[in-house]
Amino acid sequence: MRTADGGARAAAPPRARGADGGSPMGSERVEMRKRQVCAAQGPAASAPGPRGVGNRGPNACCFCWCCCCSCSCLTVRNQEEQRLRSASYELRTEDLPICEESPGPSLEEASAWAQSFDKLMLTPAGRNAFREFLRTEFSEENMLFWMACEELKKEANKTMIEEKARIIYEDYVSILSPKEVSLDSRVRETINRSMAEPSPHIFDDAQLQIYTLMHRDSYPRFMNSALYKDLLRSLSEKAVEA
């Protein structure tokens, strides 16, 4: 190309174009930069936000790492506690001594049980009926403890006294036993001090405490229970038929 004065002018260098021959290289770089920024922001925008420590879900409980809305860890814990309670009750009811041997009560005898707790506990038939009721309330160990103490009082052999006292302690006094009876601290301390050389009357205070507990707590409910009322009705029908 020549200038107006006829001189020659150097041709301008061609502008660089993109690979497709369309946009200039500068514009292509800007466009590529925009694409890179969008690509970098895309996954971050679509990714879920932080869920807290350890990526726990929004419904995770504060005691565990689970992330379900019902907190499965607590469900498992409750199931385990229920299993342990069931196992404990099985320990309470297995290997229990059979009921005392006695003839069935007469209507007069069963009616007398309503007069006083002493009359109920005086006969094997009364104790058996009351014990059956206690079993429905999961407190049969009170009667078993009382009966074991009665048997211990009859023992004269020192070796047998020590053995029976140890068994009674482990079964009904020890806090580790599933059949532990409810005793106050004073009575427990007295028993603990006496276990070195137990006597047939080592559990007298504890036996009286449990006897009083059954009298005040369980006996009134037994008198109003369907078990006792059904027994009286059955005995009344037998008396009429005779």
pLDDT tens digits for range 77-92: 555 555 544 444 444 4
pTM of the model: 0.60
Q: Give the pair of three-digit tokens for residue 81.
A: 């506690």
Q: What mean pLDDT is reported for the chain?
A: 76
What CA–CA distance (Å, rounded) separates 93 from 140? 9
Task: Give me the CATH topology for the region 107-241.
Answer: Regulator of G-protein Signalling 4; domain 2 (1.10.167)
Q: How far is CA 169 from CA 40, 97, 120, 214, in A?
A: 74, 17, 26, 19
Give me the residue spans of the domains in the chain.
56-93, 107-241
Asked if 178 and 91 count as a contact pair (C-beta separation under 8 A), the reply is: yes
What CA–CA distance (Å, rounded) separates 104 from 100? 11
Residues 209-232 have a mean pLDDT of 98
pLDDT tens digits for range 151-167: 999 999 999 999 999 99
H helices within 6-71, ranges in order? 25-46
Q: Which helix (H) or strand (E) holds 241?
A: helix 226-241
pLDDT tens digits for range 131-141: 999 999 999 99
Q: Give the pair of three-digit tokens for residue 24.
A: 């200039």
